[in-house]
Amino acid sequence: KKIIYACLNNKKIVKFFYLNEKEFSIKKQEIFFSEYLNSHFNKCIQLIDKYLATADDSYIIIWKDTNKELLEIERQITIATKTSDLILVNNEYIISSQHDNKTIIIININTFKISKIISNIDCIDSQNSLFNFQDYVIINCVKDIQILFKETKEITQNIQNFDNELTNKDIYDYNN
């Protein structure tokens, strides 16, 4: 879809901007979460069909688009720590990163339940810590780069930071 999901900085609101021809327009439809109004969503992504997911400092929330002004909560998953990044891996699951807990959480899209938690992953605290790349998810970590194989949902490789070679690393995704 040609949509930008904009998370407001001081409220738990996501605005939708649509690209029509050569200009953007804002739609009245939005996500609004009345709890913890002084905080904000860290990320919002499109899932399958009429579902979106938001991440904040406590929850990952699955929203259902019922073509009303406000999307409805389908499921609220308590994470109890900040989720920095959230990506749709394929039509089976999404992955989220939690810097403070040093975890990666895998959520099944069909059930919207946590299917796996991978511990001891020191991912950076960034909205760009997870990257889809062919059959893998690249995880940008504080002291290394972890490679997760999508099919097995297991870490298959760790590229360590020898002699501070990766101290100021940035990882970019340009259409894979």
Taking only the tens place, the pLDDT of each residue in 120-140 is 999 999 999 999 999 999 999
Summarize pLDDT for 43-61 with one digit per residue, the tens.
999 998 899 999 999 999 9
Position 107, amino acid = I
Exposed/middle/buried for 2, CB within 10 Å: 0-12, 13-18, 19+? exposed
- The pLDDT > 90 percentage for the chain reads 67
pLDDT above 60 (res 110) = yes
pLDDT for 115 equals 96
Summarize pLDDT for 149-163 with one digit per residue, the tens.
999 999 999 888 655
Position 164, amino acid = N
pLDDT for 88 equals 96
pLDDT above 80 (res 37) = no
> Taking all residues of the chain, what is their mean pLDDT, rounded to a whole number?
88
Closest CA to 49 of 74, 15, 32, 27: 74
pLDDT for 26 equals 87
- Angle, CA 8 vertex, CA 13 and CA 6 arms, to 5°: 90
Structure pTM?
A: 0.87
